[in-house]
Amino acid sequence: MKTQRHPKTRITTKIQVAVFSTLFLWAGTFGAVHACTGIKVKSEDGAVIFARTVEFGVDGGVIPAGIPAGTKLVASAPENKPGLAWTAKYAAIGIDIRGTSWLIEGLNEKGLQIGAFNLAEFAVYQDVTPADYDKTLNAFELPNYLLTTTATVDEAIAALREVKLADMSIKYFDNLHMQFHYRLSDKSGRSVVIEYLEGELHVIENPLGALTNSPNFTWHLTNLTNYLNLSPYGWPAIELENLTLKPSSLGSGLNGMPGDFTSPSRFIRAVAFQEMHAPSATADDGIKTAFHILNQFDIPKGASVQKAGGVEYPDITQVTAASDLTNLRFFFRTYENSQIRMITMADFLAGNHADVVLFDRGGDEVFENIADTAKPVK
């Protein structure tokens, strides 16, 4: 396993060379699928919030779910064999895929958070043999394992050394071979990115807390240095000969910030907006700030489409979610309903559930008619 601080020099690995040589092809071919964006917000009262969008080019059946402590879980191994088996030490709540009990984004009762983000064309998992099957998981199963067995980033990193992540088709997700990297954070505010590259586990410190998709995370940090000019403040007027030139409107300090839905562009915007936003006084303010920032990454149906086998797959923001690691609250809204809903860990624990549960995802948006609130102008 390699643990890295954020890089200070240009990356020169084989992976990096491949990134630069194929970036434009990748952006057009894979950039329209699973375009997830993650940010970090800290409020002035000390609350630590990690938020993200969840996108899929196919129906993900994204459902809020809870896993109580004491739940017995079994992962999968190659050849349809059972993998790692364990009993949940900690309860977790988050976003489940298709009612499978596997969370792709979640928060546990100790304030640990993890989310899976697509890393198409770059993630290469570990080699496993039948002797490894009893400590093997697939890409979808890793978040559950860390959420239900560890309380801090350090504990989670130690746990990663003891398991194997295998490349295998995911039977409950159309037999796809999912390629992920992961954002792992705890209530101290520390955040790391977990990546499997060329069959090796890498853990990279992520003080920004932001994450998107391919290429690998260190590439994004290097690319960030191309946008050091971005500022919330407009450009000053300049004098040319006898002519005074000044910006025609507000926002000129962000001129040049990429606005498309590719992963490199979203990473730049995610860092820019999370670092520039006005201070949030309380945790509740921080949650609202997080959702406002993530409005910038909401993909409407039809704006990003991949064609495969004569079929069009529109990538849409199925869920936007936020975890308050300090107060142990999970928030979400869906593509069909912009109302922000909340699940508190305290209430989930009080329910004394015996097994995994699914929560109400909510229906379509209900529009409130306020015509009867009309009052005459004084």
- The token duo for 311 is 């079929």
Binned at pLDDT 50, 70 and 90, residue 173 comes out as: low
* Residue range 267-301, pLDDT digits in tens: 999 999 999 999 999 999 999 999 999 999 999 98
pLDDT at 352 over 90: yes
Residue 72 and residue 34 in contact, taking contact as beta carbons nearer than 8 Å: no
Give the pLDDT band (50/70/90) at residue 13.
Answer: very low
Q: Which candidate, 335, 364, 356, 362, places its Cα nearest to that of 65? A: 356
115-137 pLDDT, tens digit per residue, is: 999 999 999 999 999 999 999 99
Q: For the chain, where are the alpha helices, taking DSSP H only? A: 14-29, 142-149, 153-160, 217-224, 263-276, 283-294, 345-350
Instruction: Output the pLDDT for position 171.
Output: 63
Q: What is the H or E stretch that residue 278 is in? A: none
Q: How confident is the model at residue 367 (pLDDT cuts 50, 70, 90)?
A: very high
Three-state SS at 81 = strand
What DSSP string runs through 123-174? ---B---GGGGGGEE-TTTHHHHHHHH-SSHHHHHHHHTT-EEB---BGGGT
Cis peptide before 68 (omega within 30 of 0): no
Where are the domains positioned within the chain?
2-360
DSSP at 245:
E
Q: How far is CA 369 from the centre of its chain?
A: 35
Tell me the per-residue pLDDT of 222-251, one tens digit each, with 9 for 90 and over: 999 999 999 999 999 999 999 999 988 999
Lowest mean pLDDT among 42-56, 61-75, 197-211, 305-319: 305-319
The answer to whether 204 and 217 are in contact (CB under 8 A) is: yes
Q: How many Å separate Cα 76 from the centre of its chain?
A: 23
User: What pLDDT shows up at residue 362?
Assistant: 86
CB atoms within 10 A of CB 54: 26
The pLDDT-based confidence of 175 (bands split at 50, 70, 90) is low
Q: Which of 85-89, 299-303, 352-356 is predicted with the least confidence, judged by mean pLDDT?
A: 299-303
Name the band, by pLDDT with cuts 50, 70 and 90, for residue 172: low
Per-residue pLDDT reduced to its tens digit, 93-118: 999 988 888 999 999 999 999 999 99
pLDDT over 90, % of the chain: 77
Give the CATH H-level superfamily of domain 2-360: Penicillin V Acylase; Chain A (3.60.60.10)
Q: What confidence tens digit (pLDDT) does each residue in 304-326 have?
A: 888 888 888 888 899 999 999 99
Give the pLDDT score at 1.
Answer: 52
Give, for 237, the enclosing helix (H) or strand (E).
none
Which residue bears the tokens 């040049």? 256
pTM, to two decimals: 0.89
How many residues does the structure list for the chain? 378
Which tokens in the block code for residue 14? 């084989």
Burial class (CB in 10 A: 0-12, 13-18, 19+), 284: middle
- pLDDT value of position 174: 65
